[in-house]
Structure 1
């Protein structure tokens, strides 16, 4: 059972290189969000396979690690902007994958979401990015569990924004799947 493959990522790389990307036209940047959403869906498919007892948690964690390794390479793009945007998306993806790992391992924080984000910002201010990343990933595990990500007011120069974008993408994907399910049940 394959949840995400090198070929799938190469298809995204090809699509990114074929897409005209412009900072002035946010619609052209959607390919990066779509790639991130595709990985999140693959991660939810892994969770669903665990819930259906098709794979064990240990195997699910190996699948998450496999996705990390697929993205942990250098890729060629036909513009510097695309390279920068891919790099930012990969940072978001790091937080997403760590969140799914924590979820599978049952590592949830007892703190509320706002407190976690505040702690992550404080850790960043103190220069402890590893701790900030860990906190954001734990917040992501709570989002996967069903908690809502609160409205956030983050400093624009914050390095944790990309990680929070990944967690927000998990939340958005969950919401969209709920909408799809409710529409399917109405039909």
Structure 2
């Protein structure tokens, strides 16, 4: 095995984003604010995509890949120290979207892509499970959709528009970031 990158993501990197959000006037209706939040999400999805790619390319083994994903998850899903309640809610939305990205990547590394359906099938199953308030199953189905996206299948975002807003739509938003990251894993510049 060749030498893998020493670090896919760092707590410092995450804190830089949080610091920017804390310092700026954030208005989700404003394009620049929305882009900042999306960049925060995409940046994390790119780190996850790079871990999965390194695993697929044989640069890191399964155990290392799972540990790396876990490390990024712990950084990104830890409690954020922001005083502003609205900003906290917005960052929480990004964290919620990314939950499914982590589960999908872990599932993919552990078991490979789902075999019994399409991305749309799993998204539909996730929405149905959420409607029945079975959130564990909903997350499981959304993660299965994510394994297929990692494997190269397309997520059609118009599917999300038909769903009632909830956790599944948040997760699909995260999977959309993952899909972009898988096709173009370029680092989002923090100083844009």
**Does 2:173 correspond to 1:165?**
yes
Q: Residue 63 of structure 1: which of 65, 68, 86 is its match?
A: 68
* Superposed displacement of residue 175, structure 1: 4.0
| C-alpha contact 1:64 1:97 (8 A) present in aligned 2 | yes
Q: 1 CA distance for matches of 2:179 and 2:27? A: 26
Deviates more, 1:131-140 or 1:150-159: 150-159
TM-score, reference length from structure 1: 0.87
* Residue deviations 1:25-57 (CA, integer Å, cap 9, x gap): 133121121111111111122123223433211
Q: 2 CA distance for matches of 1:98 and 1:126? A: 21
* Superposed displacement of residue 23, structure 1: 3.1
* Superposed displacement of residue 177, structure 1: 5.0
* Residue deviations 1:58-98 (CA, integer Å, cap 9, x gap): 11001101111112322122422211111010011111111
**Does 2:25 correspond to 1:20?**
yes
* Superposed displacement of residue 147, structure 1: 0.4
Q: 2 CA distance for matches of 1:70 and 1:177? A: 20
The DSSP-based 3-state class of the residue aligned with 1:167 is helix
* Superposed displacement of residue 149, structure 1: 0.7
Distance 1:50 1:78, change over 3 A: same
| Structure with more relative contact order (C-alpha pairs < 8 Å, separation 6 or more) | 2
Tell me, which stretches of 5 or more residues in structure 1 are unaligned?
179-187
Q: 1 CA distance for matches of 2:123 and 2:162? A: 9
Q: Which residue of 2 aligns with 1:37?
A: 42
The aligned runs of 1:91-170 (5 Å cut-off) are 91-105=96-110, 106-150=112-156, 151-152=158-159, 153-170=161-178
TM-score, reference length from structure 2: 0.85
Tell me, which stretches of 5 or more residues in structure 2 are unaligned?
1-5, 187-192
Q: Which residue of 2 aligns with 1:185?
A: none
* Superposed displacement of residue 158, structure 1: 2.6
